[in-house]
Chain A
Amino acid sequence: MEVAISYILISGVVISLVLLVIGTAAYAWQHHSLALGYSLPQDNLFQFIRLEFSRLAHGSMSATDIINLGIITLMLTPFIRVMFSAFAFALVERNLKYTLFTSFVLAVLTYSLFLRR
């Protein structure tokens, strides 16, 4: 379990950084400026992911899409990590207590991902 978690964490960070750097370079190429002058949707992560994927589904792959994917990947990394722990405690270690604790954390995290202003 520990080794898997370790891989989830490091891959998430590496993929995210690669996307951010490539995206920024692409942005600089397109806009002739390194200043990322665009805004993220003022909404929760769930909506952000939904919007981004619908853009990708329509064939868009601009610099901002790549950067946004980088941010999304980074934010999903701890989330996937906790989800994985929940499964590990439930199915591998069969530890009821910790499955419950981990599920609580996952529930709070999920709630935060759906927050609205």
Chain B
Amino acid sequence: MTTIIILVVSVIAGLIGAMTGQGGGILLVPFLTLALHVNVKTAVAASIVSVIATSSGSASAYVRDRISNIKVGMYLEMFTIVGALVGAAITLASGAQVIYLVFGLVLLTSFVLLWLKPEMGETANMRQDRLSAFLELEGEYFDQAANKTIAYKGTRAALGGVLMFGAGLIAGMLGIGAGALKVLIHDLVMELPPKVSTTTSNFIIGVTALAGTSAYLAAGLIKPAIAVPVIVGVTVGSRFGTRLLVRLSNAAVRRFFMVVLSVLGVEMVLRGLGLL
């Protein structure tokens, strides 16, 4: 019963995705294509619809806790959404092998970035360039762990915007949330505190996914047989994943995820090069 298999695979993707703070998409498309031989563009389309569900589900909690910064999110969204439409157009126009190759490279890049991940700073950034100040990219939130209100200011709005176009492009092209990339931009480029970075980028991801989904819908690539079990599976999987995350050690989860990333990354690249 293929539907059940797709459902199970999606739950696993969502589970691991949530445990590692990534979306399900980054594992889902490789699982669907490599293991279940789903057509790569159909897999990308199904994945991007599911991204709407998972990101909206978790974003609702963050928005309510007032940690995400809606202005930062909306400003950056302007760039990301255009990127997503361009990315989807690229995928629709490209051959399958190109998609495999790019996907594999993104997986391997994520692996490298995770490996090199620098330590998060403690003091919030308060230096801001003029554009960022004009754009009101600042705020404060109550950090439960540190038990105090932290005020912050974001900076490098121009560079952040341009890079978010790129992140949107990748998201639209590969059907993923590209959350990791977006968080990096928020964190390292715009110097927002880590919790604000993750929550705000999460909120952006859903809107960006909608733009991509529309392009794939119009191309007739959203097949209910694949998309429906994927949506349900990934959403359920990530709900459980966030709960499991609390009980596992950070290092173990990270290591496991890096192994998965590297294996899938290599396979996708090989497929892209026609060697698999």
Contact = CB atoms under 8 A, between A and B. Distances in A.
Given A13-B53, A74-B52, A85-B70, A112 B78 contact: no
B61 A78 contact: no
Interface in B186-238: 206-207, 209-211, 213-215, 217-220, 222-225, 227-229, 231-232, 235
B56 A20 contact: no
Interface string B257-269: 0000000000000
B261 to A, nearest CB: 27
Interface residues of A, number: 55
Nearest to A110: B214
Contacts of A5: 60, 63, 70
B143 interface: no
Contact of A37 (B77, B78, B209, B225): B225
A104 B57 contact: no
A117 B57 contact: no
B222 A40 contact: yes
Interface stretch (B1-9, B12-20, B98-106, B146-154): B1-9
B77 A40 contact: no
B59 interface: yes
A2 B56 CA distance: 13
B135 interface: yes
Interface string B67-89: 00011001101100110010000
A105 B229 CA distance: 30
Residue from the set A21, A45, A77 with the largest chain B CB neighbour count within 10 Å = A77
A85 B227 CA distance: 28
Given A109-B81, A115-B218, A78 B74 contact: no
Contact of B74 (A17, A44, A105, A113): A105
Interface in B225-253: 225, 227-229, 231-232, 235
Given A9-B59, A35-B3, A112 B207 contact: no
B10 to A, nearest CB: 12
Contacts of B71: 98
A13 B57 contact: yes
A26 interface: no
Contacts of A108: 78, 81-82, 85, 211
B56 A12 contact: yes
B7 to A, nearest CB: 9
Contact of A42 (B4, B53, B57, B220): B220
28 contacts: A1-B70, A5-B60, A6-B63, A7-B60, A13-B56, A13-B235, A16-B53, A16-B231, A17-B232, A20-B228, A21-B232, A24-B229, A35-B3, A35-B225, A36-B3, A44-B218, A67-B228, A70-B228, A75-B217, A77-B52, A81-B207, A105-B74, A108-B211, A109-B210, A112-B210, A112-B215, A115-B214, A115-B215
Given A17-B232, A64-B224, A116-B218, 6 more contacts: A2-B64, A35-B3, A36-B225, A77-B52, A98-B75, A105-B207
Interface of A: 1-3, 5-7, 9-10, 12-13, 16-17, 20-21, 23-24, 34-40, 42-45, 48, 64, 67, 70-71, 74-75, 77-79, 81-82, 85, 89, 95, 97-98, 101-102, 104-105, 108-109, 112-113, 115-117
Interface of B: 1-4, 49, 52-53, 56-57, 59-61, 63-64, 66, 70-71, 74-75, 77-78, 81-82, 85, 135-136, 206-207, 209-211, 213-215, 217-220, 222-225, 227-229, 231-232, 235
The 9 closest A-B pairs by CB, nearest first: A42-B220, A9-B60, A6-B64, A112-B214, A10-B60, A34-B3, A36-B224, A6-B60, A36-B225
